[in-house]
Amino acid sequence: MEYTYLGNTGLEVSRLCLGCMNFGSEQPWMVHDHDEALDVIETALDHGITFFDTANVYSNGESEEILGTALAERDRSELVVATKVYFPMHDGPNGQGLSRKHVLDQAQASLDRLDTDYIDLYQIHRWDEHTPIEETLSALDSLIEEGVVRYVGASSMSAWKLMMALHEAEVNNYERFVSMQCEYNLVDRHEEANVLPLCADQDIGVIPWSPLAGGFLAGKYERGKDPEDGRAVTDEFMEKRFTDENWDVLDVVRELAEAKDATPAQVSLAWLLHKDLVDAPLIGPRTTEHLEDNVGAIEVELTDDEIERLEAPISPVWNPAIGDVE
């Protein structure tokens, strides 16, 4: 495994972060069997992956519990555990969002489920229109003061909102967000026209989510054919990816994969790993085989010409209606 520093911090993370959204029973396409999920996490650890991402909302806490079980006997000092807050955890008042109350309550609940004394990276999962960002930053700051959170990060939002948060942190002397977790892969490149230039300018670490576009870039679906298995059978969100320009990208991915004796998933992950501003893609393997394959991406080299060919079919556009909403 290779390691890097997260953004401009001194925090060392593996170049692949294991995303744990797949572990739990909220959706039919997830890994419902805890032993199978634990096998994937165990295999990741065996490969030297030390960076793990989850969220309170993933299967309503189940993903955090599985991760906590997997890491319980491990040397915590090497591991970087990231989780998130914002989405609804219960009905009724104060069940969601980024108010001081919800953030502090959920941080404690995440610590309990993760069975740990501290969260390395605590991220706001989305922007909360109902809470002033100063209130959220001050609540996050108090968690750092308390020693239960080490760094704070953000996820998917318009660049101007992230810039506003960085400004508020600076003028109020609160900890600033050190990382941005955003959707970024060969067929979802809208963040190149939104938050990524800001992250480069402000030295914010970039940890892309859905690096294989939920499996589309693994080459498991065929142009013009209904999906027969995989996430797309039950996840309607996947259908937005079946566009002509995305199939054109996949054609190039497949061609390069064949030439390099690699898999389409490896070429797609390698493209992200070749981007200077990307610290660690959040991989989402469902099986140990997926994980072994994803790890192999680190060895795949791409030339500038190949990168240009992979990017040619799409011209990134930022559309807040897609990128800035839940």
Ligand X SMILES: NC(=O)c1ccc[n+]([C@@H]2O[C@H](COP(=O)([O-])OP(=O)(O)OC[C@H]3O[C@@H](n4cnc5c(N)ncnc54)[C@H](OP(=O)(O)O)[C@@H]3O)[C@@H](O)[C@H]2O)c1
Binding residues for ligand X (CB under 6 A): 19-22, 29, 53, 125, 155-156, 181, 209-215, 218, 220, 230-231, 265, 282-286, 290, 293-294
CA distances from 244 to 199, 240, 241 (A): 30, 11, 9
What is the amino acid identity at position 1?
A: M
Residue-by-residue DSSP string for 110-127: HHHHHT-S-EEEEEESS-
Q: What minimum distance in Å lies between the beta carbon of 289 and ligand X?
A: 7
Give min distance, CB of 171 to ligand X, in A.
27
Question: Which has the closest alpha carbon to 70: 96, 40, 47, 32?
Answer: 40
Supply the minimum distance, in Å, between the C-beta of residue 11 and ligand X.
18
Complex with ligand X: residue 147 or 155, whichever CB lies closer = 155
Q: Which is nearer to ligand X, 48 or 230 (CB)?
A: 230
Q: Which of 3, 58, 118, 151 is catalytic?
A: 58
Secondary element (H or E) of residue 152: strand 149-155
Q: What is the Cα–Cα distance from 142 to 139, expressed in whole angstroms?
A: 5
Q: How far is the CB of 40 from ligand X (least distance, A)?
A: 10
Contact 152, 178 (CB under 8 A): yes
The token pair at 158 is 């318009």
Q: Please, are residues 215 and 187 in contact by the beta-carbon 8 Å criterion?
A: no
Tokens of 211: 């690096």
CB of 52: closest distance to ligand X in angstroms?
9
Tokens of 19: 């995303």
> Per the structure block, which two tokens stand in for 167?
């400004």
Q: Is 118 annotated in the active site?
A: no
- For ligand X, the closer CB: 209 or 271: 209
In eight-state DSSP terms, residue 258 is: H
**Closer of 146 and 292 to ligand X (Cβ):** 292
**Closest CB to ligand X among 277 and 295?**
295
Q: State the Cα–Cα distance between residues 66 and 114, nearest whole angstrom.
A: 8
The residue behind tokens 């996947």 is 238
Q: Which residues are catalytic?
A: 58
